[in-house]
Chains A and B, each alone.
Chain A
Amino acid sequence: MPGQFLATVEKNESLGPAICRLTILAPEIAAAGQPGQFVMLRSGRGLDPLLSRPFSLHQTFPHGRIQVLFKVLGEGTRKLAALGAGEPLGIVGPLGRGFDLAAPRAGARLGLIGGGMGVAPLFFLAREIQRRLPEFGLDVLLGARAKQELEQLLIDFGPLKIEPRVATDDGSLGHHGLVPELIEKEWGKDGKLRQVFCCGPWPMMAAVAQRCRERDWSCQVSLETMMACGFSACLGCAVAGSGQRERYFHVCKDGPVFNAADISWE
């Protein structure tokens, strides 16, 4: 069940260019949070910026800690980046519907694809898949603009004994190009059926969704939209569904994780 809490910042680390990892003491959320769920964060008591900002759960830990991984873009994330240990932080969560791990197809390998800050929820997901579905093989593909954005994450994946395949826009690490291109390169030939979990920028997810459709792989995507509330009160976070009838989903409540086939990708 979601709730509203006044949490405490335990640690705020800088992980490369404008990327921060915030460790927060929030026991209720740590206990209940699932991979793919998110929290609304708000620093300080000022009125500008006014709204809370949504962030995926990057990790939860025993002993009541959670982590979020974020990129500094505007005023909201700048304020979060400036928080020091011991400072209070408004938090609402855990919110939304996370990744569905209920029924992977028999004989499938599970494939995770992350781009940009979309890598944030995938680490938690990978850990949970290993814990709950140890019999399934797991491959991870990650994309970023440049090497520095990925270095810390690759280190984090180490203990999970997962070696992600990497694509960078500038070629500074791994494949020189876009991460959906790695699907052919890495998963094209082994004949194993994939069940894909994806999070990243919209064009990347659209490309991944299409490649999965062509191969008849199931594909779950975690979407981002502008959000005012995060818990289905404002109706602001609409995204168009597929199918004839005009209909919108609400990303905060119906998602953020959707079946790619349910979304209109135009």
Chain B
Amino acid sequence: MTVETDVDLQVEIAGCTFRNPVMTASGTFGYGREFEDFVNVSRLGAVVVKGVSLLPRAGNPPPRVVETPCGMLNAIGLENVGVEAFLHEKLPWLVELGATVVVNILGNTVDEYAQLARRLDGIEGVTALEVNISCPNVKEGGVAFGTDPLMASAVTAAVRRASKLPLIIKLSPNVTDIQLMARSVAESGADAVSLINTLLGMAIDLAGRRPRLANVVGGLSGPAIKPVALRMVWQAAQAVKIPVIGIGGIMTAEDALEFIVAGAHAVQVGTANFVNPGATEEIVEGIAAYLAKQGLKSINQLRNTLIT
């Protein structure tokens, strides 16, 4: 893993400098340590950890995952250890390693989001918050926060008041007008937006005439959603001045570069981590190699260069 070229991969988002534009997507990289045998996590732009809530959550009953053409559906139900266990048992390992950590948070109410933001404010080793207002797998709140511009704006404003940390608001694709959503959170104090979360979907076992997921519906991710994600990232980048982080179906450096050309400052790699646990580092290498080959000095020269 040493294609050390003299290209500059650093990107600046919300006043923070990230060593490169490749982050892990929340919920697909555990708390980082799950990948210690596969990836040098301190070389990534950032580790965005599995979403944490105030209290631990057990998640949904199985089956929770099913494969679909070029993708997968999941209904994990935001199983997580809770914020206190995260801070005491998970974060120290990442900090020790020198990883850049973005904490993804989720709540059932606006107040829960604010409490989480307050708890994480000023903690050493937490670089930014990513606020998940878009999970399709929880009954309370989840989807409503991400699909109603007023609710999205209320969560953003509450988190803004509760914390000085840079705020990335993670948007749901399950809306008709992504530009409206991006603008409302930008106006309410978001420092950046990330998108897309999973697309609501379902799968049926015809033989049994039953849904394949116990939760009936779940979130679609993987290469199958990349065209939708690219379109939404491009639209969002045109609607707001704050940085956009692109997510959805990124498997290779080429996929990542398409998002950057479409206007993304950075990208997150999700489902690819399951298929190829070394994907993130390979993508960093691939981006560096591409820039060098194109004779570009910095990743910033490539951003938003789509010719339409």
Contact = CB atoms under 8 A, between A and B. Distances in A.
A49 B67 contact: yes
B70 A47 contact: yes
B65 interface: yes
B222 interface: yes
Contacts of B34: 231-233
Interface in B34-55: 34-35, 37-38, 50
> Which of A4, A229, A235 neighbours the largest number of chain B CB atoms within 10 Å of its CB?
A235
Interface in B18-46: 27-30, 34-35, 37-38
A235 B59 contact: yes
Nearest to A229: B274
Contacts of A3: 37-38
B79 interface: yes
Nearest to B36: A1
Interface residues of A, number: 31
Given A4-B38, A48-B70, A236 B65 contact: yes
B15 interface: no
Interface stretch (A57-65, A174-182, A188-196, A239-247): A239-247
A162 interface: no
B238 interface: no
Given A3-B38, A234-B28, A238-B61, A48 B69 contact: yes
B274 A234 contact: yes
Contacts, number: 96
A248 B273 contact: no
Contacts of B69: 48
Given A4-B277, A247-B58, 12 more contacts: A4-B38, A4-B276, A47-B223, A50-B223, A51-B274, A225-B63, A226-B65, A228-B74, A233-B28, A233-B34, A234-B76, A237-B65
Interface of A: 1-4, 42, 47-52, 90, 92, 225-229, 231-240, 246-248
28 contacts: A2-B37, A3-B37, A4-B38, A50-B72, A51-B67, A52-B274, A92-B277, A226-B62, A226-B66, A228-B65, A228-B67, A228-B72, A229-B274, A229-B277, A231-B277, A232-B30, A233-B28, A233-B29, A233-B274, A234-B274, A235-B76, A236-B65, A236-B74, A236-B76, A237-B64, A238-B79, A239-B62, A248-B58
